[in-house]
């Protein structure tokens, strides 16, 4: 039981048809819900921290909570920086003891993305830390999926191969049609599986990462709305598409929005039904249970990762 890098987990996942879940964490209840689920499912686990999470909870608290989770469960866990925007935040996380960092240079031109990614790879590797980079831009819901938009923003397979070769990065996040948040598609859901297969065939040894992979299950949106929420028009990626992606080189699947919805639905329900209660444990406890159930469902039914640890 330790903080581990993603090297071994990805090597195994790459050889099989499952992916490792990478779940965003912001507080104790979220961490506890996720690790209890991974423990029950005997699945590999990545906990990831965004810049926003670092700001909200402070790095020292998150680190200590993850260390506590390892002590409590006996799991091996990878601690990952999600969407590091520059060298400095990656360096801080490496120095803090993270085992994996993402440098997200996707907003930069190709050569600049290579330059900053390489800088992070050199520093991280010298400290035994692995690096995820991103090439291509995740779709926004406003982008629809017109062919010109796709070729302008989705990951180009040849560029992906050159990028990996020149940066020495350990894993690569690609853009094939997903986007962050609860509103992913204006029309029918569409992922570019031909592009994914082309990328995977050019760089078969590179673990690929799917961001924006929440499926935004109707049941949870409806529950939020039933108890006073107003989340109109939310639409995620169909579960079957995520499972299909795990068969073509996707080794890491990023999930945040679904956890937020599961927790919020439960908290809303509790407070609506028990308006006289004001003990945070009374509503955060069920929220934690909802996270646990959601993560178990993901690991077992969407990522096919049950029993792979």
Which of the residues are catalytic?
Answer: 82
Only one of the segments 113-121, 188-196, 211-219, 278-286 lies at the binding site for ligand 13P (rule: CB under 6 A); that segment is 211-219
CA dihedral 212, 217, 220, 223 (to 10 degrees): 130
Nearest to 196 by CA among 174, 170, 163, 167: 174
How many residues are there in the chain? 309
Q: φ, ψ for residue 161 (rounded to 5)?
A: -65, -45
Q: φ, ψ for residue 229 (rounded to 5)?
A: -80, 170
Q: Can you tell me which of 54, 211, 288, 292 binds Zn ion, judged by CB under 5 A?
A: 211
CA dihedral 212, 215, 220, 225 (to 10 degrees): 60
Query: What's the burial of 230, exposed, middle or buried (CB within 10 Å: 0-12/13-18/19+)?
Result: exposed
38-48 as b/e: b if 16+ CB within 10 A? bbebebbbbbb
Task: Give the shortest CB-70-to-Zn ion separation in angstroms.
Answer: 24
Q: Can you tell me which of 29, 82, 132, 170 binds ligand 13P, judged by CB under 6 A?
A: 82
Q: Which of residues 248-287 bind Zn ion (CB under 5 A)?
A: 254
Contact characters 155-194, ligand G3H, x per CB under 6 A: -------------------------x--------------
Q: Can you tell me which of 12, 27, 39, 50 binds ligand G3H, judged by CB under 6 A?
A: 50
Contact characters 173-192, ligand 13P, x per CB under 6 A: -------xx-----------
Q: What is each CA distance from 239 to 179, 301, 307, in whole angstroms?
A: 15, 8, 20
Q: Is 256 in the site for ligand G3H (CB under 6 A)?
A: yes
Task: Give the shortest CB-24-to-ligand G3H separation in angstroms.
Answer: 5
Residue 74 CA to its chain's centroid (Å):
22
Work out what residue 206 binds among ligand 13P, ligand G3H, Zn ion, none; the CB cut-off runs from 5 to 8 Å by kind: none
Contacts to ligand 13P by CB under 6 A: 24, 82-83, 180-181, 211-214, 254-258
Contacts to ligand G3H by CB under 6 A: 24, 50, 52-53, 82-83, 180, 256
Contacts to Zn ion by CB under 5 A: 211, 254
């Amino acid at each position: 039981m330790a903080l581990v890098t993603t090297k071994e987990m990805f090597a195994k996942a790459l050889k099989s048809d499952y992916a490792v879940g990478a779940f965003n964490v912001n507080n104790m209840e979220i961490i506890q819900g996720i690790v209890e689920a991974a423990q029950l499912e005997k699945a590999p686990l990545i906990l990831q921290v965004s810049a926003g999470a670092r700001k909200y909870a402070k790095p020292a608290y998150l680190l200590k909570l993850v260390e506590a989770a390892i002590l409590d469960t006996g799991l091996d866990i990878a601690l990952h920086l999600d969407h590091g925007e520059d060298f400095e935040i990656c360096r801080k996380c490496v120095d803090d003891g993270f085992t994996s960092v993402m440098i997200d240079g996707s907003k930069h031109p190709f050569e600049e993305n290579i330059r900053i990614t390489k800088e992070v790879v050199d520093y991280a590797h010298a400290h035994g830390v692995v690096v995820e980079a991103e090439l291509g831009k995740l779709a926004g819901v406003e982008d629809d999926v017109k062919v010109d938009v796709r070729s302008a923003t989705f990951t180009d397979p040849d560029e992906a191969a050159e990028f990996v070769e020149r940066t020495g990065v350990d894993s690569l996040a690609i853009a094939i049609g997903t986007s962050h948040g609860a509103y992913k598609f204006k029309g029918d859901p569409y992922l570019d599986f031909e592009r994914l297969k082309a990328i995977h065939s050019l760089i078969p040894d590179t673990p690929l990462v799917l961001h924006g992979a929440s499926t935004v299950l109707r049941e949870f949106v409806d529950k939020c709305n039933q108890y006073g929420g107003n989340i109109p028009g939310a639409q995620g990626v169909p579960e079957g598409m995520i499972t299909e992606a795990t068969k073509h080189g996707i080794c890491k699947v990023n999930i945040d929005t679904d956890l937020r919805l599961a927790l919020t639905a439960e908290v809303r329900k509790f407070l609506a039904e028990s308006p006289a209660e004001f003990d945070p444990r009374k509503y955060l406890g069920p929220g934690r249970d909802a996270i646990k159930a959601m993560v178990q469902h993901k690991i077992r039914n969407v990522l096919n990762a049950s029993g792979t640890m």
